[in-house]
Structure 1
Amino acid sequence: MKADLHLHTTASDGRYSPEELVRMAASLGLEVIAITDHDSVNGIAPALKTAQSLPTLKVIPGVEIGTDVPHGEIHVLGYFINYIDTDLINKLAELRDSRKTRAQKMIAKLADLGIHIEWERVQEIAGSGSVGRPHIAQAITEKGYVQSHKEAFVKYIGREGPAYAERQKMTVEQVVEMVVKASGLAVLAHPADIENLEELIPRLQRVGLAGIEVYYGTYATKSIQYLASVAHKHGLIATGGSDFHGLEHLFETPMGGVDIPSECIKRFLNLNRLRTLA
């Protein structure tokens, strides 16, 4: 069973619309995908509608939410969420607003560095999606200050860059609880870099954590083996995905480019089926 459970569309900072992404997934022979935009569920309905004419493809409604931890952030993926849940929609709207505020702060910092881009242009690039750093990177590149989006991140807007700014975020526990409240399965995204991962997991399991993303776009075999052992030890499901945004210049993993064992996908789907029967 071929799957990709970590994909972004124009509803956040991806290049392709939900409709385009779904059709691309079908053309690649994928059987299961999840739409997991940053702080947004706006791409789910059009993705599901497009998938109605593609009987070989199952689309899972999802979301990816950043959380606040000392010296960094942790992302949580929510799968099988009730994407019309009012509380979820309202909270995600607050988080998207904080992305706008963060982007404006970064533009001001860039100006102090002699890098002048317009907020209006960043909004144009983002379109109806959540404003994110890739949109700022594109604006910087368009102005000729850098040669690529990757260079923009490395020089200016990466976490260690001089124009980086934080945004409003929730705690990991709060996000896991929010996903569970919206009838979703909460999974830690790209967890290999999380400090004290095995200390964190029991805390999050108490509020409903269901799994960790073991198979991820850039992970080497050693990292995958370690995370698989962690998932097994703590009784968590193992998921995986490419984190595809459609931004080839960032040297990302292509859609469907992560080999997720079929048994992991089946266990993931079965866990949700058992929940709905309970």
Structure 2
Amino acid sequence: MRIDLHTHSSVSDGTRPPAEVMRRAAAAGLDVVALTDHDTTRGWDEARAALPPGLRFVPGVELSCELDGRSLHLLAYLFDPDDPELNAELARLQESRDRRGREMVERLRELGSSVTLGQVERIAGGARIGRPHLARAMVEAGTVASFEEAFTADWIGADGRANVARYALDPVRAVRLVRAAGGVSVLAHPRVERGGAFDDAVIRRLAGAGLDGVEVDHPGHEPADRAALRVLVAELGLVGTGSSDDHGELSGDRIGCETTAPEAFRRLVARAGGAR
């Protein structure tokens, strides 16, 4: 059984519609796939409606959190989509994304870029504006030569001149919100450097708050990081997962390149209250 628990669609910052993500998952030989768009469940219905025969869908989101001034991402699965407290936080996160997108366009223009809000909205295609949409618009406008160049201190990197802070959840609170909504939470790519890698102390702290798992096998993790994470996950009694973190064209259409072991998946589902 092949299981990928971290993918994105054009509902957030992926390039493929949810239905196409499902088709590509089946074509990649997956048996189980999770859709985990940033701070939104809006792609779930389309994904479910497009499921090819034999493919199992896991509903999820990737929650935007912040710890010690650094971005931290938390994958949440199998929660009640009608939970009022979690829904209120998702709405707040999305509203903050909208505000940030508009303000970042203004800053880019102040810095001499010809990027426009209309251009960014066209690229986003109805999704909430994220930095990848801005980066694509910057390349299109000739502001930068490459997608990667946009994510520097000169432009929209974490400490960039055009970057704007946005609302993010405290991760301990996020873990508890997900659990209260009947779901399970997994710390996403803790050793990837873009937002700043998180050490064992952070994982221990989140485990104490009720974290269920850690994304161990991720395209951005080195072999030594994976080995160390496996030891820690086993010590803490957490579930170690593996996922592609596919964003369509932006990530090279890599869906299914990393997978979660079937036993790990079963353990994760068993932790979800009332999961089907």
**1:217 equivalent in structure 2:** 219
1:219–1:203 Cα change, 3 Å:
closer
TM-score (norm 1): 0.90
Counterpart AA for 2:27: S
Q: Distance in 2 between matches of 1:205 and 1:260?
A: 19
* TM-fit CA distance, 1:37: 0.5
SS at match of 2:274: helix
Counterpart AA for 2:205: R
Q: How does 1:32-181 map to 2 (within 5 A)?
A: 32-51=32-51, 54-154=52-152, 155-181=154-180
**1:8 equivalent in structure 2:** 8
Q: Structure 1 stretches (4+) deviating beyond 4 angstroms?
A: 193-196
The yes-or-no answer on 1:183 pairing with 2:182 is yes
* TM-fit CA distance, 1:113: 1.6
Q: What RMSD in Å do the two structures reach over aligned CA positions?
A: 2.0
The structure 2 residue matched to 1:226, chosen from 225, 228, 246, is 228
Could you list the runs of 5+ residues in structure 2 that have no partner in the other structure? none
Q: Distance in 2 between matches of 1:183 and 1:260?
A: 21
Instruction: Give CA deviations for 1:203-224 in whole Å, capped at 9, x if unaligned.
Output: 3234321111111122121111
* TM-fit CA distance, 1:270: 4.3
Q: How does 1:186-197 map to 2 (within 5 A)?
A: 186-193=185-192, 197=199
SS at match of 1:97: helix
8 Å contact 1:40–1:130 — kept in the other structure? no
1:38–1:226 Cα change, 3 Å:
same
Q: Distance in 2 between matches of 1:185 and 1:35?
A: 14
Instruction: Give CA deviations for 1:40-74 in whole Å, capped at 9, x if unaligned.
Output: 000112111222xx231111000001112223121
Q: Distance in 2 between matches of 1:255 and 1:133?
A: 21
Q: Distance in 2 between matches of 1:159 and 1:39?
A: 19
8 Å contact 2:212–2:268 — kept in the other structure? no
SS at match of 2:256: coil
What is the aligned length? 271
Q: Distance in 1 between matches of 2:214 and 2:252?
A: 20
The yes-or-no answer on 1:243 pairing with 2:207 is no
The structure 2 residue matched to 1:203, chosen from 202, 205, 210, is 205
Counterpart AA for 1:148: S
Q: Which moved more, 1:188-197 or 1:130-139?
A: 188-197
Counterpart AA for 2:248: G
Q: Distance in 2 between matches of 1:130 and 1:183?
A: 26
Instruction: Work out the percentage of aligned pairs sharing the same amino acid.
Output: 35
